[in-house]
């Protein structure tokens, strides 16, 4: 199964990808994680991407497509995969279209205000990468690791990222609707409730 997870930053794509990986073994390819990994290792790619990430802007298409090409080639040999945070522009979607045939695009629907509240509370584990909330945990509930706030999870950058989403990524909704690939899920509520909706959309209901 080859899926795209589509939605605004903070819509829960990463959280649902982690659950899907556990449940049906799909590989999780997150362009944001790939950039953060490069940044942690101070690679030229990571340092270049940081300029855009800190401003809440998109990294230029060419850089993203170069990075993703390699991953897509590797992923072709797996059971299936989910792309999280890619594509984010029509040019990226057309590029992806030229490389693979998708089985579906899961769209996570949620309001901007709910996203701002969520992201201001988002905590990431430094050890295992799990995502949780500062309001409910002091340490990572999965491994006990230290929690940190992503540099781009501040209100000003969150608002820029939302603006970029509406202007540059939202056109992909029609792009995929026209191709009959769009599967819409309401992304409010607890992660496990959203997960049940996702599984049902994918005809993968538990029991
Ligand atoms: P994310 O973790 O998906 O929220 O991505 C964090 C940041 O990485 C974004 O705000 C962008 O600056 C950059 N980024 C991630 N994926 C893409 C993409 N497909 N196209 C352009 N920039 C991206």
Ligand 1, atom 15, residue with closest C-alpha: 32
Task: Decide if pLDDT at 150 tops 60.
Answer: yes
Find how far residue 58's CA is from the centre of its chain: 13
Look up the CATH number of domain 2-110+159-206: 3.40.50.300
pTM (2 decimals)? Answer: 0.93
Task: Decide if pLDDT at 181 tops 90.
Answer: yes
Task: Decide if pLDDT at 204 tops 90.
Answer: no
The residue from 71, 139, 149, 150 that is catalytic is: 150
pLDDT tens for 44-66 read 999 999 999 999 999 999 999 99
* DSSP assignment letter at 59: P
Active site residue 71: no
Residue that wins the pLDDT comparison between 127 and 74: 127
Task: Decide if pLDDT at 166 tops 80.
Answer: yes
**Integer Cα distance of 132 and 52 in angstroms:** 25
For residue 205, the CA-to-ligand 1 centroid distance in Å is 30
pLDDT at 55: 92
Task: Decide if pLDDT at 41 tops 80.
Answer: yes
Mean pLDDT of 157-167: 97
- Under the phi-then-psi rule, with left for phi > 0, alpha for psi from -120 to 50, and beta for the rest, what region is 99? alpha
Mean pLDDT of the chain: 94
Mapping DSSP to helix (H, G, I), strand (E, B) and coil, where does residue 57 land? Answer: coil
Active site residue 13: yes
* DSSP, residue by residue, 98-118: HH---SEEEEEE--HHHHHHH
**Residue among 14, 58, 87, 89 to mutate when testing ligand 1 (max atoms within 8 A of CB):** 58
Both tokens of 15, joined, read: 């959280």
Both tokens of 30, joined, read: 């997150």
Q: Helix 155-164 to helix 112-120 angle, to the nearest 10 degrees?
A: 140
User: Measured over all CA atoms, what is the biggest interatomic distance in the chain, rounded to whole angstroms?
Assistant: 47
Task: Decide if pLDDT at 207 tops 60.
Answer: no
The alpha helices in the chain, defined as continuous H runs, are: 13-24, 31-40, 44-55, 61-75, 90-99, 112-120, 155-164, 171-178, 191-201
pLDDT at 206: 62
Both tokens of 85, joined, read: 């945070």
Beta carbons of 146 and 125 less than 8 angstroms apart: yes
**Integer Cα distance of 166 and 185 in angstroms:** 18
CB atoms within 10 A of CB 151: 12
Radius of gyration of the chain (CA): 16
Nearest to 58 by CA among 23, 19, 85, 29: 85
For the chain, give every domain's residue range: 2-110+159-206
pLDDT tens for 74-126 read 887 787 999 999 999 999 999 999 999 999 999 999 999 999 999 999 999 99
Nearest to 152 by CA among 128, 125, 120: 120
pLDDT confidence bin for 70, thresholds 50/70/90:
confident
pLDDT at 137: 96
């Amino acid at each position: 199964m080859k899926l795209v997870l589509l939605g605004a930053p903070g819509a829960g794509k990463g959280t649902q990808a982690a659950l899907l990986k556990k449940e049906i073994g799909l590989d999780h390819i997150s362009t944001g994680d790939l950039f953060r990994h490069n940044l942690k290792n101070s690679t030229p790619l990571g340092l270049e991407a940081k300029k855009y990430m800190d401003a809440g802007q998109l990294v230029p298409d060419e850089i993203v497509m170069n990075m993703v090409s390699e991953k897509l080639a590797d992923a072709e040999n797996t059971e299936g995969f989910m792309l999280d945070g890619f594509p984010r522009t029509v040019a990226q979607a057309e590029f992806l279209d030229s490389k693979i045939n998708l089985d579906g695009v899961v769209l996570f629907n949620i309001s901007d205000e709910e996203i701002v509240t969520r992201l201001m509370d988002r905590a990431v584990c430094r050890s295992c990468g799990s995502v949780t909330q500062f309001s409910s945990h002091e340490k990572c509930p999965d491994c006990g690791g230290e929690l940190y706030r992503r540099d781009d999870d501040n209100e000003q950058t969150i608002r820029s990222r939302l603006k970029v989403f509406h202007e540059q990524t939202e056109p992909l909704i029609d792009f995929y609707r026209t191709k009959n690939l769009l599967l819409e899920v309401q992304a409010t509520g607890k992660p496990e409730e959203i997960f049940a909706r996702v599984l049902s959309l994918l005809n993968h209901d538990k029991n």
